Structure 1
Amino acid sequence: MTGARFDRTPAEQGLLAQGQAIAEAHPRPAGRPLDGAELRAIFRALAPTGYLASTLPREAGGQGLSAAEFCALCEGLAPGLTLIGNHSVQRYLQQFGDAAQRARFLPALLEGDGVGAIAMTEPQVGSDLERMTTTARRSGHGYVIDGEKTWVTHGLSATLIVLLAKTDHGLTRFLVPGDAPGVRRIAMEPVGLRHLGFARLAFDGCEVPAEWRLGGEGEGLRGAKAAFPIARVIAATQAVRIARAAVAIARDYAEGRSVARAPLAGSSLVQHGIAHLSARCEAVSLLCRRVADDLQAEDVVATASAAKALAGELALDACRWTEDLLGSTSLEAAHPLATLAGDARMMAVVDGTSVLNHLVVARRLLPVRGGAA
């Protein structure tokens, strides 16, 4: 893998600024998910940047963003609009959809008029997809889907769902319109990232035509692992932004507070904490950029996992340390740090927990048969 760059290209700087401007223009609501209209307004604002087509080649409508450029744009959106987007839906449509499917569903997603969602995780199943219980059985000229999915990002507002279900030939992807009969949405109450509209989706005799099957039967996991590195480095990049925001709150508090007539910012304990967290932010940020610069590297799965693990831990540590510094000041639900702390807890789990990602790194360093994915 190539060495890390210590500076951004002009294109990356511009995309970072665009992300920040969009996040500032569309502040997320406090304590509730973005509704469909709010989400589509954000997507329409993002469409010209290439964000919605980031996983597509130029000939399919993409704007040719490099991974590093896309990460810079994602960094600018955080922490306000962390993890917003439906890139995997576009990627699956482009890679595995036929011409009719792409023509029907892609334009709305790329223009920001549609909201995509991925429905894979099930209650009591987690990442062990072989234990999945959602089924798609053949019926006439299509399939009947029964089962339940959970932790579906944008599940409350999705106009198109990419669903993973079991057929007689194995795990298979399907395209399910959000308003299809037999689809029921149940709102979830996460500790953080509430703007993402997480939902449980229940499928009760949901009928879909055979032409909405995405790829062949038994090909539901095809291409899934290839997306792990970019997904993890994006999550890591945005987790670092959460950490930086927490450190900024700590710095502002210390500069405006006095204890025993002495400025809190002059305390060596406070100085050490802020300096240490800031240094960790810089180090993990450089690791993220190193991963994004060379997604084809032989060790990219391990380094992306390392970045995600370190960034998730950093976000938690920064929020906890700042909570200790602020004391009761930070305990009100409306305090910005409360939002960051909830988001940090979520980011520590999204795209693999620290334990899982450390195991991926260990498998690279100590190769044995089997191991984490």
Structure 2
Amino acid sequence: MNHLYLTQEHEIFRQGFKKFLAKEAQPFIEKWEEEKMTPRSFWNKLGENGYLCPQLDEKYGGFNADFGYSVVIAEELTKMAGGFGISLHSDIVMPYLESFANEEQKQRWYPGCLSGDQILAIAMTEPGAGSDLANIRTTAVRDGDYYIVNGEKTFITNGYSADLIILAVKTDPKATPAHKGISLIVVEADKTPGFTRGKKLKKLGQHVNDTSELIFADARVPVSNLLGEEGKGFYYLMQKLQQERLVVALEGIVTCEVMLDLTLEYVKQRKAFGKPISQFQNTQFKIADLATEITIGRTFIDTLIRKHMDRENIVTEVSMAKMWSTELAKKVAGECMQLHGGYGYMEEYEISRRYRDVPVSTIYAGTNEIMKTIIAKNLEL
């Protein structure tokens, strides 16, 4: 499909990136799945080739690339069946530094983020606070030139490998309403006494991306690592969720497209009762339904990407897209596995990996129930 927001330059970039992934990533996916993380060496190769944070200004070493390049990278990583942690680094966490870091912080952190020497993560979710962000309990109490941080975060993508962690904390636990007490501070993992990582969490899927708990016990973080202003953290988070959810929506629809392609190839080859199962009406109708819904979803998301690149406020539509594409991905995964028959349940077939990787997309970046709440609120219900 031709995307209206992509130019010939984007497509040339795509071909180069596809060749890079074919050589440096695809042969090792199974190993990375077993190790439950993407190795640092791959991050460094991404950095060497300019595939991390290409949107950064040239004066910092970036390419000042538009969001279309991030779309291309996210699409190709998704086709590879892994890499959400990389998109999270470049397209979800880095925008916080772009918008709210001061010049000294940018000079300090940008080089490592571009090279892959400093992997980014963002830590909001806690054992007792997920969607209810205003009620996080991790605190940061001022003590001279440091914040003393206590609390625990969980389900943190890139958490096990991250070097820089944007941490949502309560700097004013007594603030009313509660969200006005939230601030963002940047934790430098190797320079923060009192900070420890939990073990890599055992997940149902998405094994290529490491996920872990983060523990803060009187951790000392310099006040100079405050991102923006105290008490503005909740507002900063709300500003950046549009792009995060758009990336998740995009990855959802790309996953649908990949699963449909895998299934089309399979049903044309697999024979039953003397003919390919693609010739059975049941198969044709199911695939026709899926192809239609996927095409509708892609058209909608492409429109939103164009609007996002034009800096339009599309919070409601992005909430719809995130909900629609991730729910559709679950549906497509189930239908496509069924069409694969028993082989679909075997690890050697990619559809089985897709089937277990998909469900969490309806949970992270705000659950789909939260998406419905946002949509309803913006419809003045």
Give the TM-score normalised by the residue count of structure 2: 0.87
CA apart distance, 1:124: 2.0
Question: CA 1:127–1:91 in 2, change beyond 3 Å: closer, same or farther?
Answer: same
User: 2-side partners of 1:334 and 1:32: how far apart?
Assistant: 17
Aligned to 1:154: 158
Aligned to 1:193: 206
Aligned to 1:252: 265
Does the 8 Å CA contact 1:52/1:112 hold for their aligned counterparts?
no
CA apart distance, 1:65: 2.7
AA aligned opposite 1:176: V
Counterpart pick for 1:208 among 209, 221, 227? 221
Matches within 5 A, 1:108-147: 108-147=112-151
Give CA deviations for 1:192-236 in whole Å, capped at 9, x if unaligned.
222110111011111112212222221212332222222222211
State yes or no: 1:173 paired with 2:172.
no
User: 2-side partners of 1:367 and 1:324: how far apart?
Assistant: 40
User: 1-side partners of 2:221 and 2:5: how far apart?
Assistant: 49
Counterpart pick for 2:368 among 348, 351, 354? 354
Give CA deviations for 1:108-137 in whole Å, capped at 9, x if unaligned.
101222111111111121021221111111
State yes or no: 1:79 paired with 2:83.
no
Aligned to 1:26: 25
Matches within 5 A, 1:11-90: 11-24=9-22, 25-27=24-26, 28=29, 29-45=32-48, 48-49=50-51, 51-54=52-55, 56-57=56-57, 60-80=60-80, 81-85=82-86, 86-87=89-90, 88-90=92-94
Aligned to 2:329: 315
Aligned to 2:178: none
CA apart distance, 1:334: 4.3
Does the 8 Å CA contact 1:134/1:148 hold for their aligned counterparts?
yes
3-state DSSP of counterpart to 2:53: helix
CA apart distance, 1:60: 5.0
Does the 8 Å CA contact 2:112/2:118 hold for their aligned counterparts?
yes
RMSD, aligned α-carbons: 2.3
Counterpart pick for 1:102 among 101, 106, 110? 106
State yes or no: 1:303 paired with 2:303.
no
Tell me, which stretches of 5 or more residues in structure 1 are unaligned? 369-373
Tell me, which stretches of 5 or more residues in structure 2 are unaligned? 176-180
3-state DSSP of counterpart to 1:52: coil
CA apart distance, 1:6: 5.7
Question: CA 1:101–1:6 in 2, change beyond 3 Å: closer, same or farther?
Answer: closer
Larger helix share, 1 or 2: 2
Give CA deviations for 1:6-59 in whole Å, capped at 9, x if unaligned.
6842133234334433332313323432244244235325x524x4143x4555
Does the 8 Å CA contact 2:60/2:110 hold for their aligned counterparts?
no
AA aligned opposite 1:184: T
Stretches of 4+ aligned residues off by more than 6 angstroms: none
Aligned to 2:355: 341
Deviates more, 1:262-271 or 1:77-86: 77-86
3-state DSSP of counterpart to 2:358: helix
Does the 8 Å CA contact 1:116/1:154 hold for their aligned counterparts?
yes
Deviates more, 1:301-310 or 1:30-39: 30-39
User: 1-side partners of 2:141 and 2:208: how far apart?
Assistant: 34
Give CA deviations for 1:260-294 in whole Å, capped at 9, x if unaligned.
11221111111122222122222211211111111
Give the TM-score normalised by the residue count of structure 1: 0.88
CA apart distance, 1:243: 1.3
3-state DSSP of counterpart to 1:165: strand
AA aligned opposite 2:183: T
Aligned to 1:371: none
Does the 8 Å CA contact 1:191/1:342 hold for their aligned counterparts?
yes
Does the 8 Å CA contact 1:19/1:74 hold for their aligned counterparts?
no
User: 1-side partners of 2:6 and 2:368: how far apart?
Assistant: 28
Count of residues paired in the alignment: 361
Deviates more, 1:326-335 or 1:251-260: 326-335
Deviates more, 1:179-188 or 1:293-302: 293-302
Question: CA 1:275–1:106 in 2, change beyond 3 Å: closer, same or farther?
Answer: same
Does the 8 Å CA contact 2:246/2:318 hold for their aligned counterparts?
yes
Does the 8 Å CA contact 1:313/1:348 hold for their aligned counterparts?
yes
Does the 8 Å CA contact 2:131/2:367 hold for their aligned counterparts?
no
AA aligned opposite 1:30: E
CA apart distance, 1:316: 0.8
Question: CA 1:367–1:17 in 2, change beyond 3 Å: closer, same or farther?
Answer: farther
3-state DSSP of counterpart to 1:238: helix
User: 2-side partners of 1:167 and 1:7: how far apart?
Assistant: 41
AA aligned opposite 1:290: T
AA aligned opposite 2:193: P
3-state DSSP of counterpart to 2:319: helix
> Identity over the aligned pairs, expressed in percent?
24
User: 1-side partners of 2:303 and 2:141: how far apart?
Assistant: 45
